[in-house]
Amino acid sequence: MALAQVQQADGRIKPRPVVVLQEMPPYGDLLVCAVSSQLRHEFPGFDEIISSSDDDFVTSGLKVSSLIRLGLIATIPRTAFLGKLGTISTGRLQRLQRRLAAHIREEGDL
């Protein structure tokens, strides 16, 4: 978990919590997904809620139960990072990575 400058849908750049999913070649930019306190935006079966009762909540650095928005991903340079917030469990990170990879492998019309 980190705090990073992320471009919003309206084009504004805003500091927000992110989960680092993977380092990307060739320059070491990072693939991240946004974290939001707006739990109502959850897309069940894709996004993931980290709640205050979860084992990794305390180490995450989050202040309130939050939504890991796997559908809001970006590749950002390391220079966009403002600092580390904390960590999520390896199991949660791997689950998010597998879910995103499975979604990418699905065939569909664009």
Residue 107 has pLDDT above 90, yes or no: no
Q: Is the distance from CB of 68 to CB of 15 less than 8 angstroms?
A: no
Give pLDDT tens digits for 60-77.
999 999 999 999 999 999
Question: How much of the chain, in percent, has pLDDT values that exceed 70?
Answer: 97
Scanning the structure block, which residue is given the tokens 């928005």? 69
Whole-model pTM: value is 0.91
Least Cα distance to 4 among 64, 66, 78 occurs for 78
Give pLDDT tens digits for 94-106.
999 999 999 999 8
Domain ranges of the chain: 2-105
Rounded to whole angstroms, the Cα distance separating 45 from 28 reads 29
- CATH class, 2-105 region: mainly beta
